[in-house]
Structure 1
């Protein structure tokens, strides 16, 4: 049994090469610095103290860096995780009196879910959340970011029963916007966009603009522009240990699963975008374990839920990270910056954070446009799933949106599975090779007919398979060879259909021979007694040579029908 190794080595393997220490030191500084504006901004999305967004880049990031399979992954707070966390707290009725301990409980449970899924080697589960659903989810979450920051962007907090009415109310009260606040937010957006287009400042534009705008607002003495100090206190120092509130577990348990799913799906693309420099393949299950360990450890040091961040990993790699040292130093540098300058974060204008979030939301949408166009052009069903996920994000709590999306993925998968499957007739061409053509509706009498089954594996599609098999009416003296090489497993539903079809053939005087039977399928047939019913010689197990078992089965069928190979309907 393969195990998930979660203990990194510092002796030149497993992404911890000493030769990459210096590059990790440099990359970690850039990543740690970038974590300040993003951490504060994302915590604010969740409606909690920005301090916890900063703390999310410390212990959780450090432990994840030590244990994920993707050595370059930076696991930290992201916008989608923050929005999902905020949704969980609202749905659970978590009030100010329950904070911050209830917040850390969500982090703990998120980590436990990740760890369990990883240890159970369920890393492939992320493949069942389709591109269409994630595109709709990200688009919906991006719009929620924009709507959630309208107040800090303009100085006017919109009112309304839902997100759309809030947007309408916001535009209807343009006259109530604070001019200085709006100017700061707009200037932030413009400067960040320009900074990202300049090669020298491309990666750290948000950090530079945050510092510049904070200084400008501070020197300008614009009292109407709210700052972080108006909503939170940011001390200079590191987070002390704080225990989660275990009494709220029943309230947030289900929601924490949704946060874990969002985080894991987001982080799943990192191993592909930034493969391990050593060339080793990163295990998704080990990534689950690493992110889980990070959250569990971070939950006791005031961290919000975290997961693989594509943007933060990109900053680290662009800064030169080539090993786990990038993530390790990202956490350490952030700790140093908080020790030295933590209290200065209180001076950051909320309008600057709102401007940064506007840019982030726009980038998320633009980044998903190619996926949206692809979904629209390839599948009507997937397009509907994408639109439903997007719309639901605006009207129901985000934690339920991801579950709805997963349900839609399941529906699409089931629909595709039951529609799949082919039954083809196989005939030898003039060149001696097997060729495919539409299977006959009725078997010809006294002849050997060969059919092949393709893409039949899902039990719900088996009854439809039974309807597509050739009818044996009036085919006395014939033989049917069924090639099953693509059928890797067979369950009780399939065995029942096979036995019922065999009885129909037998009653009509037709012999059934199975070809290319996979060993696992042969074992299932043996246990069910089906092999005895068909006759052991009529179940030809697959061999390494692709057509060898088929040829043997056809010879067997001709023997049973007493027909020479060249007498049977082009066989």
Structure 2
């Protein structure tokens, strides 16, 4: 199916959608590069080769691979922390290629499932913090005043406290950009190109009026040429190894949300591992041709879909159109005022924050623990280097997963109802003599669950010959070693009281572990019932064995 999608001829809507997306890449790509301290040219070229290669190889066929704000800021933070100049083309090329290699390795190792462990609460805090970074990064371009402070929140406060230091002309141009964007955005037909309309309209007005503001050409010359081959600065490889992992994780985490949001038109399933490989190839190729690190862009993908993309060729055409536009219109792009780009970035940052409002409210109302993780991630993203914030986000996601898994783990007693069906019941505090007690374990065998399971395990007390049947159907293949120790201890307690522990629903892999650890010998040959047949069949067999075992002991007196 994917091959059919790839080989289909592009439709007219793919060509037009590619044009709109390519035009949109001019202000957005330049702006994202500018806020992170890179050359705007690198932002432009990030929409050429990565978009073409990524669209040709991704399993999510409508995904557009290019520069995003989070990737740009993380890349700048990584290079600065390594003591490398972000303006050096060799350093940028090396970081992009290394990021691509990390992505490709993760895809080859089929680590796509790792992205599912990134908590929504953590991602919400991270995305909101990135949006604030975007806004604070262009405050000087938008108002002419450079705020001071050791972190983004302090700088934002300093900027607001120094309204009198704002340059009037610069501020008015940025404000006019925001107003024109809002007017264009309110028109349905112009909604998807509102940023482009604002950039063109205000740039023309500034040129006609002769307004004295800083222009793009004052920062970088845009060559009227295609991106050329750039050799990575390989000696810097060790200094960027950890940073490349951080950039890759940020890019892949952002791209992971595209497949569920923008499903394939032919109904085929996405494959995150294939998308990892595609983004890796896009970065390796793009890094060799003047591109910053790139990843799946939800905003650029959204523009393409809104403009009518139907196949992967829309993304390919977006890169081709952008290359043509750069070749033909480079001198015009140099005349874009920096306050215009600043105003556009304020819009982008504001939209990102506004778009997250429902997620913030949802996390806040769902759980105090999740809300705390969101706030800590937000603060870390605004006050720490982004590669450290990425590590913080990963650790918090893991802790949230462990905490939530541990809280959900429990033991449930199973008793027969009037129709002889098994129904849940409260776990008894004590076991009864000469009685079979049936419990079901519900959890993932995480070590953090053990105190909770141990706490609710019924006490043996003075019971004589108690039998406990524990259903483990659905237990993961690799239980924690702590779970094995708990079962061995509880089996010994029951044995001391003349009873026994039996396990029902044991799959082959778990059975091997029980044998290797010696627990199978402790339980006995008939103390383990394999997980085969109907779902309740192993439990029925275990209870029958337990009943026969008790009857045999009674007969022996």
Question: Are the counterparts in 2 of residues 376 and 383 from structure 1 also a CA contact under 8 Å?
Answer: yes
Q: Deviations over 1:275-320 (max 9, x none)?
A: 1111111100110100010000011100001000111111111222
1:135 corresponds in structure 2 to 124
Please say if 1:455 is aligned against 2:461: no
On the 8 A contact 1:422/1:456 being kept in 2, the answer is: no
Task: Map 1:150-549 onto structure 2 (within 5 A).
Answer: 150-223=139-212, 225-489=213-477, 490-549=479-538
SS of 1:202's partner is helix
Distance 1:94 1:413 in 2: 36
For 2:429, what is the secondary structure of its paired residue?
coil
Tell me the distance in 2 between the aligned counterparts of 1:533 and 1:413. Answer: 33
Q: 1:76 Cα shift?
A: 0.3
Deviation string for 1:363-382 (max 9, x for gaps)? 10011111111101011111
* Alpha-carbon distance between aligned partners in 2 of 1:531 and 1:170, rounded to the nearest angstrom: 68
- Shift in Å, 1:209: 1.4
- The separation in 2 between residues aligned to 1:161 and 1:412, in whole angstroms, is 29
User: Which whole-Å CA distance do the structure 1 matches of 2:161 and 2:473 have between them?
Assistant: 66
Runs of 4+ with deviation above 6 angstroms: none
CA distance in 2, matches of 1:443, 1:220: 89
Q: Take 2:540 and 2:143, find their aligned partners in 1: how far apart are those partners?
A: 77
| Alignment partner, residue 17 of structure 1 | 8
CA gap 1:563/1:446 in 2 versus in 1, 3 angstroms: farther
Deviations 1:65-93 (A, max 9, x none): 11111011000001111111121122222
Matches of 1:37 and 1:51, distance apart in 2: 11
C-alpha deviation, 1:163, in angstroms: 3.0
Cα deviation, residue 149, structure 1: 0.8
Instruction: For residue 430 of structure 1, report the CA deviation from its aligned partner.
Output: 1.2
TM-score (ref. length: structure 2): 0.95
State the number of aligned residues. Answer: 553
* Distance in 2 between residues matched to 1:563 and 1:428, nearest whole Å: 23
Q: Deviations over 1:107-150 (max 9, x none)?
A: 11111111100110001111111111111111111111111111
TM-score, normalised on structure 1?
A: 0.93
Change (3 A) 1:523 1:245: same
Contact map agreement 2:181 2:194 (CA 8 A) in 1: yes
Deviation at 1:157, TM superposition (A): 2.1
The equivalent of 2:69 in structure 1 is 79
Question: In the alignment, which residue of structure 2 is the partner of 1:567?
Answer: none
The offset of 1:532, in angstroms, is 3.1
In structure 2, the partner of 1:569 is none
User: Does 2:45 match 1:55?
Assistant: yes
User: Is the CA contact 2:78–2:387 (under 8 Å) kept in the aligned structure 1?
Assistant: yes
Task: Return closer, same or farther for 1:473/1:172 CA change in 2, 3 Å cut-off.
Answer: closer
Distance 1:362 1:448, change over 3 A: same
Decide whether the 8 Å contact of 2:6 with 2:56 is kept in 1. Answer: no
Shift of 1:37: 0.6
Query: Deviation at 1:456?
Result: 4.1
Question: Which stretch of structure 1 is more off in the superposition, 410-419 or 210-219?
Answer: 410-419
**Alpha-carbon distance in 2 for matches of 1:256, 1:550:** 50
Q: Deviations over 1:207-248 (max 9, x none)?
A: 11111111111111112x111011111111111101111122
Note if contact 2:18-2:316 (Cα within 8 Å) is conserved in structure 1: yes
Structure-2 separation of matches of 1:286 and 1:471: 51
Paired with 2:412 and 2:164, the residues of 1 have a C-alpha distance of 70
Distance, in Å, in 2 between the alignment partners of 1:338 and 1:256 is 29
Residue by residue over 1:453-492, the C-alpha shift from the partner in whole angstroms, topping out at 9 and shown as x without a partner, is 1114213323542343222222213322111113233343
Deviation per residue, 1:10-42 (Å, 9 max, x gap): xxx144312x43322111111111111101000
Q: Residue 568 of structure 1 corresponds to which residue in structure 2? A: none
The answer to whether the Cα contact below 8 Å between 1:15 and 1:278 also exists between their aligned partners in 2 is no
CA–CA separation in structure 2 for the residues paired with 1:448 and 1:165: 65
Please say if residues 110 and 295 of structure 1, whose CA atoms lie closer than 8 Å, have aligned partners that are also in contact.
Answer: yes
Q: Secondary structure at the match of 1:138?
A: helix
- Give 1:38's match in structure 2, choosing from 8, 28, 46: 28
Which of residues 92, 103, 110 is equivalent to 1:121? 110
The equivalent position to 1:146 in structure 2, one of 115, 135, 153, is 135
Q: Distance in 2 between matches of 1:533 and 1:488?
A: 22
Secondary structure of 1:291's match?
helix
The Cα RMSD (Å) is: 1.9
> Which deviates further from its counterpart, 540-549 or 182-191?
540-549
